[in-house]
Structure 1
Amino acid sequence: MFNYKKSRKVLVLTAAVSLLCSQSVFAETLELDLDDAVQRALTTNPAIKIAVSEKKGSRAELNAARAGRGISIDAEHRSGRGGYADPQWNTATRSYSKNLGNSHSNSITASIPIYTGGQLSGTIDQAKANYKSYALGETKAYIEMKKTATDGYFSLLQAGNMENLYQDSVNQLEEHLKNVQAQYDVGVVAKVDVLRSEVSLANAQQQLIQATNNYDVAEASLNKIIGTSLDTTLKLKDSLQYTPYE
């Protein structure tokens, strides 16, 4: 007998598994260096777009304020329909009639401000100050975004190094535990030595989990900064290496 509810559960489970598999298969992998990260951040981050838009708006306000100093030209057109003053006697209808006509007029007026009591110059000065402020804001936004992208890039590098470090530590402690266990089996070391090795391995595994979480957070943070999907796998071309200084 066909079980509808059971079949529906199977279909839902299958769809969920397919979705997870598709996400893992189509997850994007992006290779980039520091310059790539900075350029992507400057191109896609909303903070930069807002700063650029505010500067353009203040520039338009300054141009409008300056335009108030020039000649202003107004054009006007008028049309009307009216009758003549003297009515005419119509002998056929034995009544007075009034002739109607159309009238049109055009006018162009040019004006220029001569004296505004300092209001016009004050408006222009205020618009200049606003424009300079937003221009500096745009520059500041670019500088801050470069720093943010650089910090995010090196934070991911550092997180990757820490993850590798704790992974090496776990690998070494696993091998050490095997050796201690083998020595205990033949009676060379005491049980406490095995327990001590197990505790050290457990601590290292916990640190590795924390390091992996820190790496995932740093990767998602850099993805957000450069405007890519948060689940994008980033492959950094640079590496942090120790160079002895003589």
Structure 2
Amino acid sequence: MAEQQTFSIQNRERIQAVESTFGRTRKMLLKLGRILVGEGCLLKLCRRGPKPKVFFLFNDILVYGSIMVAGRWNNKQKIIPLEDVQLENLEDGMAMPNQWLIRTPRKSFYVSAASPEEKNVWMGHIEQYKSLLVQAKGLPTDNAAGNFAATWIPDMASAICMRCSKRFNVANRRHHCRRCGYIVCRACSKSRALMPNISSRPVRICRSCVSSVHEGKEQGNKRAKGKHWKKNSVEDTPALPEFETSSDEDSNVVDE
């Protein structure tokens, strides 16, 4: 009993210490039943290349952020529920050895550890505590068909638009399609689509994905008409568009 009480006190103090590193913009992490499992520094592949990020694994969430002062000050706190996470083991890359993919509905990204052993520990613990959480909540154990966000292709991977092949320069900047993750120019990504798993506001998509959205919507409408069709029914009213065209910059913060 005394050992359990000591652990509870130590766990609370550790979680509060993690909270404090994120400063005034932090979200509260202390919660009844929440346990800090481990922490460490991993490389996260961002749009401009790999960057060191601090990661904290809890028994129900994964938290990460930008390192401002190691061990003392972090920024841009991100919180991911473990039940939303899907991991994919990957072969070593030239820029990212010991890497794996973290998929979530809102964001998917590559991370790498300093050694194969550390990679196995991270992946093993994430899978372990996700499995325990899913069982405790009575959720489906297989989320392979989940609606995960596309993984962004890094800026350095292409010098040309992956839709029209125009070369990027100061005037023709890189952008990312939120639906497929391709690097595209502004002209090829003027449309915006509502993707609720990513944002409550319409996000940038490329012209190729606009066609896919159209096709998916038309097929859905045909199925709905066939299911709910009634004799002598009036003509269906036009549905509101799921996307809009705009040349304005995204209001979303650029991924770091």
Structures share fold, TM-score greater than 0.5: no
Larger Rg: 1
More strand by share: 2
Larger RCO, structure (CA 8 Å, separation 6 or more): 1
Question: Into which bin does the TM-score normalised by the smaller protein fall?
Answer: under 0.3
